[in-house]
Amino acid sequence: MRKFTTLIALCFWSSASAQQGGEPIAVPGVSEDLLPIMLKLAVAVIVIVALIYLTMLFIRKFSLGRAGILGGKGSLEIIERSYFAPKKFVCLMRVGTKVFLVGVSDSNINLVADVSDQEFPVLAKRKSKEKTPGFKSYLQQAKTHLSTIVSKV
């Protein structure tokens, strides 16, 4: 960590002394020791990322996850939509193991057909897709990448 702060201080010092005279120029607002400032910044970033992560967990767990929004495990899933006019569309949806074709307009919703016995290419593609990595895996990758960069410095 000391090497990293020394590198940052060296960057500030070299840019300040790169003027014509070669003498270092005092930069207003920059203290001699950057370690406390860097630690405050690092703690602030970690706290913000943790708050974002906890907020997403809370949203998934308690409010929107049950409705199937944000990757919830609800029993109702909209497979595909096809619009015919503004606010008028047909919707292929799965409820449990059954698949229904539903017509939706401004004033009503109608069941068009029960199509549970048919195969749909959209469903086959979704089953074959691999699970996309979540925020936790991206955070872990960033952490390992940052630790390798810091260890090289």
Q: Which residue has the higher pLDDT, 88 or 142?
A: 88
Arithmetic mean of pLDDT over the chain:
75
Domain boundaries, the chain: 1-30, 35-73, 75-153
pLDDT tier at 65 (50, 70, 90 boundaries)? very low
- Could you tell me the CA-to-CA distances from 32 to 4, 12, 13, 25, 60 in Å, in that order? 15, 11, 10, 13, 45
Q: What is the pLDDT of residue 11?
A: 55
Using DSSP's 3-state secondary structure scheme, residue 17 falls into: coil
107-117 residue pLDDT tens: 999 999 988 88
Phi and psi dihedrals of 145, rounded to 5? -65, -45
Residue 102 has pLDDT above 90, yes or no: yes
- CA 79 to centroid of chain Cα atoms: 23
Choose among 67, 65, 88, 64: nearest CA to 78. Answer: 67
Alpha-carbon distance values, 143 to 40, 139, 147, 150 (Å) = 18, 6, 6, 11
Kindly report, residue by residue over 39-63, the tens digit of the pLDDT.
899 999 999 999 999 998 888 777 6
**Distance separating alpha carbons of residues 126 and 78, to the nearest angstrom:** 12
Burial of 141 (0-12, 13-18, 19+ CB in 10 A): exposed
- Reply yes or no on whether the pLDDT at 70 is more than 60: no
Digit-coded pLDDT (tens) for 9-18: 655 555 544 5
pLDDT of residue 60: 76
* Residue the block writes with tokens 């998934």: 60
Average confidence (pLDDT) over 34-38: 83
